[in-house]
């Protein structure tokens, strides 16, 4: 495990053939699996952000509608008094 945590900070690497083979197998399977996990996490984050966007958009739409309706009511009230 030292190899994977100190890359770029020294020359620590596997010395035995079995260790080198294990590092290759880890890289061949570990990197694609990590990319799959990152893709899934990205999809979760995207779903959350789309949900937030939809919620804010709906809230803003309702706010505009409420403001528009209240303006109409106020205008009708003013016109009826004139």
Residue 23: partners with Cβ closer than 8 Å, 6 or more residues away = 3, 13, 14
- The pTM for the full model equals 0.57
How does residue 79 score in pLDDT terms, banded at 50, 70 and 90?
low
Q: What is the pLDDT of residues 2-59, one digit of tens each?
A: 555 555 666 677 889 999 999 899 889 999 999 999 999 999 999 999 999 999 999 9
Domain parsing of the chain, residue ranges: 2-81
Upper half-sphere CA count for residue 15 (Cβ side, 13 Å): 2
Contact between 22 and 2 under an 8 Å Cβ cutoff? The reply is no
How confident is the model at residue 78, as a pLDDT? 65
d(CA 58, CA 15): 60
């Amino acid at each position: 495990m030292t190899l994977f945590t100190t890359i770029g900070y020294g020359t620590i690497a596997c010395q035995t053939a079995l260790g080198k083979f294990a590092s290759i197998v880890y890289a061949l399977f570990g990197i694609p699996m990590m990319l799959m996990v990152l893709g899934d996490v990205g999809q979760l984050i995207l779903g959350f952000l789309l949900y937030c966007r939809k919620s804010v958009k709906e809230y803003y739409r309702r706010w505009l509608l409420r403001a528009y309706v209240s303006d109409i009511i106020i205008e009708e009230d003013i016109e009826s008094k004139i």
